[in-house]
């Protein structure tokens, strides 16, 4: 889900924007990439 121009984590599992937290884009940029196998 996108909220405030960044990735948002849905805490409730119901796609309710009132129950989401938005994640700092700078923090997302610093994360290691995941190739789909769970191995960075």
> pLDDT tens-digit profile of 1-40?
666 677 777 878 888 878 888 777 788 778 887 777 655 5
Contact 11/17 with Cβ under 8 angstroms? no
- What is the pTM for the complete model shown? 0.39
Which of 21, 26, 22, 17 has its CA nearest to residue 6? 22
């Amino acid at each position: 889900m996108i909220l405030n121009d960044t990735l948002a984590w849905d805490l409730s599992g119901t796609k309710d924007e009132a129950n989401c937290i938005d994640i700092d884009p700078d923090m997302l940029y610093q994360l290691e990439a995941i190739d789909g196998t769970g191995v960075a």
